[in-house]
Amino acid sequence: MEERHKRILQRNRVNLVRGLDPSEMYDGLLSKGIFTQDMIDEIKSSGTRRDQARQLVRDLETRGSQAFPALIECLREKGLHSLADLLLAGEPQSQPLPLPVHVRPVVRPLPVYSHMDTDKPVQVVTPVYPTQSVRVLPITPVCPSQSVRPLPTPTTLSPSPEREFGKHRATGRVRRDSIQSYKMDASPCGHCLIINNVDFEPQSELNNRTGSNIDCDKLERRFKSLNFIVLVKTNLKQKQIRQELSALSKKDHSQYDCCVVIMLSHGTEVSHNRFPGAVHGVDGPNVPVQRITNYLNGQNCPSLQGKPKLFFIQACGGGERDTGFEVTPDEDGPCIGGTDDQTDAMPISSSSDSLSTPSDEPDARATLPTPSDILVSYSTFPGYVSWRDTKAGSWYVETLDNILEDNAATDDLVTMLMMVNHDVSQNSAKGLYKQMPGSFNFLRKLLYFQVQRPIQA
């Protein structure tokens, strides 16, 4: 949408939320190709009529250059001419002025005096037409004890609630729609793809990842308990990783609420513009995390638009080892790990993949921003190694599994990942090295998993 149209919607947001019935707009915006059915369902689930109207206006700003004209047309079709005229006039007033056909007002300020201070002028706005000159109305100052006589303007303007004279919009308030939760009640909830690379080919010059099967088994059981359809693929080459991700993107996810991808492999640091890092196939070449997330974006997987897409990466972000820093004794955590600790590191490389293909650009302009509704959780900070115990599995997966078991019934995902960050940061490899997980979070709502049945051993 053009910036001037965005500004018009933003200035008139209160008027639109107050006067718009979203249920009257859905069919028109759907038939005109502005929204998909999934996006309309997402707006419907946002709450009350006002909440839906607020969400509809916000989403319209992301729907391309035809969204504004389509909105005007839909308003006209439903007889909401005053709202249509208000937007076309481009002013945040609550009702349109009576104008001759095809003539728009020119706004001119008139100096008047406030009854509170006769020495300081304030401004009121009155409309005049292009062919008219500005009429200066005779104003007699009044003392504070007198009432203020209204100006004989052609039409009395009702100020927008957001711009009423003498009042300021409250700041720092928590909007109800900003703390909503994603719909997560489908059964099954969605697909979960786990790619577990353990045995690497000799030409890859990468060691086998002993202990990764322990991670894989834990996560398979965990996400089945969270009501996901879990598919495990083992020892995939780079091309096969892409094929599996492509197959996942081509599935129809319309009846599901979420999608999860888990990568267990060696990793490396690559150049990027959104999501850092890459994971290796067992043959050696890597697939950037940016490319992995692109498979499920709005352009490549329309049935996941507006739905959470979660990526868990157990792989090194690079080859640097973190020795930590000194803390006070009460902050010092236990020394965990020993001779069985290994890393999933590979020296930094440059990716041969395009990190932002032209096909992503229309999606970013025509719908929600490309990374929206995506969360990528990394086992380690970009550039650093990730530690894995050959007998107990990786620090990150073991901690993630425990946190999900203990807290998924009560806490949202982002809160639980913060718990994972804290617990892993307390570990120590070989009594020296540390690890710090983290996330790139582009979720728009809280996400609570389903917890329905106990894990089967």
Percent helix, strand and coil across the chain, each to the nearest 5: 30, 15, 50
- Between CA 30 and CA 70 the distance in angstroms is 10
- Between CA 299 and CA 207 the distance in angstroms is 36
Element (H, E) at 306: none
Q: Which DSSP symbol is given to 106? A: E
Catalytic residue, chosen from 74, 192, 259, 316, is 316
Beta bridge partners of 261: 193, 311
Residue 266: active-site member:
yes
Residue with the two structure tokens 């946190």:
403
The two three-digit tokens of residue 126, written as one number: 């009155």
Q: How far is CA 212 from CA 70, 173, 195, 317, 416, in A?
A: 53, 46, 11, 17, 22
- Between CA 93 and CA 158 the distance in angstroms is 7
Cβ proximity of 450 and 226 under 8 Å: yes
Residue 168: active-site member:
no
Cβ proximity of 220 and 232 under 8 Å: yes
- Between CA 318 and CA 80 the distance in angstroms is 58
The two three-digit tokens of residue 83, written as one number: 């709202």
Catalytic residue, chosen from 258, 266, 280, 301, is 266
Question: Would you list the DSSP string of 191-228?
Answer: EEEEEE-----GGGT----TTHHHHHHHHHHHHHHTTE
- Between CA 34 and CA 58 the distance in angstroms is 13
- Between CA 368 and CA 357 the distance in angstroms is 17
The single-letter code of the amino acid at 114 is S
The two three-digit tokens of residue 18, written as one number: 């107050």
Residue with the two structure tokens 């100006």:
151
CA-based radius of gyration for the chain = 29
- Between CA 222 and CA 228 the distance in angstroms is 9
Catalytic residues: 266, 316
